[in-house]
Structure 1
């Protein structure tokens, strides 16, 4: 019975992992996850690996009431990059803040410059954040929700850093977009295992 349960769990996990795919914010619609679902998704993030238990990442929700401020930061970031941006382009940049029903910004805390005590390397911090984000996406998928991670040049802009009050040692990684799927898309083909897997060969006799 125990072996059967383990097998069932394995098949369920495989179906969940292989069935997860990204859904563009344009294809997400309200309602977003309810309060209980949000807590499940947020709690899933904490199950990721975290060397040293330093919690090198954090998440900031952008409520609907604050989306206009985020849109203004997107537009300002575009204007910084391209002072000749048209009114239409600025409006399109601002509109990106309105798409996802539930929107979060993921931040990574980097090593403090000149720290005397050795700290967890930045690449391990990034891996921890990536694992946390993947857990969130899988939990959203398990709840029947669509999700995606989005980035862009605005993430590293001064207007966005000011809006979210980022510390000097923090970097904006991506936005997490979650909602119901209004327009499914074809699932992309996964790469074959042989494309990314190999074994360390035994040394050749000299």
Structure 2
């Protein structure tokens, strides 16, 4: 539990992390990236996310060079499935997406557990909280981060590349690294735009 004397400083730090974090595209994230020891700290932060019934309804794949090559090929196959006349240049660009940024993680939601008290939506919320914990822990250590997704996440090729079973879903990729070029912070909604005060 936080000591009352430390609370204001911690609140200020928390607010600074939340409001300064922004999406950095993979092309803008360069080496170096966090090492394994740091990644373990970031993943431990993810593990602190809310998890009703302790189902652990998600996991993260930390992708090394071979796994990134598999992901790239899955991206290319997914494009070929959507567009049979995709050019070699387009397929090469799809493969290249898996190679951008120094560190890449794949976030997978596990919705298989038969637990009627924990709806699928709640499990996905848990994954979102885990990802946000990881992003804020990375931000606190000076690392940039970005999330990417798309139709390829739902492709048969990607599922096969990472052995996903029925009820498991690839949700997004998380890229971590050093920010080479930041963009202007996006305009965020006001409190009154996202909150309704019900009497």
Task: Please report the TM-score for the alignment, with normalisation by the length of structure 1.
Answer: 0.91
State whether structure 2 residue 91 is matched by structure 1 residue 95: no
SS at match of 1:148: strand
SS at match of 2:6: helix
Structure 1 residue 65: Cα displacement: 3.6
Cα contact 1:78–1:93 (8 A) shared by 2? yes
C-alpha distance in 2, partners of 1:164/1:156?
Answer: 12
1:64-79 paired onto structure 2 within 5 Å: 64-79=65-80
Cα contact 1:71–1:94 (8 A) shared by 2? yes
Alignment-derived partner of residue 128 in structure 1: 126
SS at match of 1:23: coil
Structure 1 residue 13: Cα displacement: 0.7
Tell me which structure has the larger Cα radius of gyration.
1
Q: Which moved more, 1:33-42 or 1:88-97?
A: 33-42
Cα contact 1:111–1:121 (8 A) shared by 2? no
SS at match of 1:31: coil
Choose which of 136, 139, 142 in structure 2 pairs with 1:138.
136
Q: CA deviation digits over 1:139-180, x for unaligned, max 9?
A: 010010000111011101011000000011101111111111
Structure 1 residue 103: Cα displacement: 0.6
Structure 1 residue 4: Cα displacement: 4.2
C-alpha distance in 2, partners of 1:193/1:27?
Answer: 30
Q: Which runs of structure 1 show a deviation greater than 6 angstroms over 4 or more consecutive aligned residues?
A: none
Q: CA deviation digits over 1:43-87, x for unaligned, max 9?
A: 000111000101000111111243222211110110011101011
Runs of at least 5 residues in structure 2 that lack an aligned partner in the other structure: none
Alignment-derived partner of residue 63 in structure 1: 64
Runs of at least 5 residues in structure 1 that lack an aligned partner in the other structure: 202-206
1:10-159 paired onto structure 2 within 5 Å: 10-111=11-112, 115=114, 118-159=116-157
Structure 1 residue 36: Cα displacement: 2.1
Structure 1 residue 7: Cα displacement: 0.8
